[in-house]
Amino acid sequence: MGFVSRGFRGKRRDTATSGRLPPGQYLVNDYPVLSAGPTPRPDLDKWTFSITGEIDKPKTWTWKEFLALPTENVTKDIHCVTKWSKFDTMWKGVSVDLLFEGVETAAEYTTQVSFGGYTTNLPLEDLMEGKAWIVYEYDGQPLPPEHGGPARMLVPHLYFWKSAKWIKEIRLDKEQQPGFWETNGYHIYGDPWREQRYWGD
């Protein structure tokens, strides 16, 4: 407590943005890319999105069917666990609420599964009631592959690794199953406002 870095002043931000920045984050204007491996490039002819797991009959959409779904335009602040935040990012996609219409499940947890094998886990309630989307446009343009195109999750209230790129499947789980980063030292839930970056935070 009370530690001071000699001579450090830092770059102060205007107070208008400070309340929007979670602890330990800094604001960027560009859009950094981070992923654990090469960028997958799923073929749109074979692309599907499915809801699987604890559900009587899995729901699946082809790319064409997915594009025909009603869309929402959302503008959100996003926060990466590597400490950058970006304000007012603009997306177009489909609300997860809409995708889950008619789904009955006893599951309380979910795993997002990506083309390329990436996984990340979340409680189901964090995907419901206007908190999550599957987006395929960023800033008015098709989502580039390195940012998760053709379609990625957007769950902006949590650190951005909880928004899987190249989404293929949301699996409904009875038990919480840690995903890729969650088994590699990162927090099981990942709330940026409580700075839940790593195990034990």
Partner 1 sequence: MGVISAAPLRWQQAELVELMRETPRVSTLSFNVMNWPGHLAGQHVDVRLTAEDGYEAERSYSIASPPEQRSVALTIERLDDGEVSPYLVGELKIGDKIELRGPIGGYFVWRAGDDRPLLLVAGGSGVVPLMAMLRHRATVSHKSPARLLLSSRTFGDIIYREELDRLVAANDGLSVFSTLTREKPSGWKGYTRRIDAEMVRDVAWPKAQTPAVFVCGPTPFVESAANLLVGFGYDPLWVKTERFGATGTPGG
Q: Which residues bind partner 1 (CB under 8 A)?
A: 3-12, 24, 26, 31-40, 78, 80-84, 116-117, 146-147, 159-161, 180-181, 183-186, 197-201
How far the first Cα of the chain sits from its last, in Å, is 18
Strand partners, 111: 121, 171
The one-letter amino acid at 52 = T
**Minimum separation from the CB atom of position 16 to partner 1 (A):** 16
- β-strands 59-62, 141-142 pairing: unpaired
The one-letter amino acid at 187 = H
**Minimum separation from the CB atom of position 83 to partner 1 (A):** 6
Q: Distance between CA 158 and CA 78 in Å, rounded?
A: 8
Strand partners, 52: 171
Residue 54 or 169: the one with the smaller Cβ distance to partner 1 is 169
Burial of residue 10, with CB atoms counted within 10 A of its CB: 0-12 exposed, 13-18 middle, 19 or more buried = exposed
Residue 30 or 101: the one with the smaller Cβ distance to partner 1 is 30
**Minimum separation from the CB atom of position 99 to partner 1 (A):** 23
**Minimum separation from the CB atom of position 30 to partner 1 (A):** 10
Residue 95 or 163: the one with the smaller Cβ distance to partner 1 is 163
- β-strands 59-62, 133-138 pairing: unpaired
**Minimum separation from the CB atom of position 169 to partner 1 (A):** 18
Residue 73 or 183: the one with the smaller Cβ distance to partner 1 is 183
Q: Are 115 and 39 in contact (CB under 8 A)?
A: no
Residue 36 or 69: the one with the smaller Cβ distance to partner 1 is 36
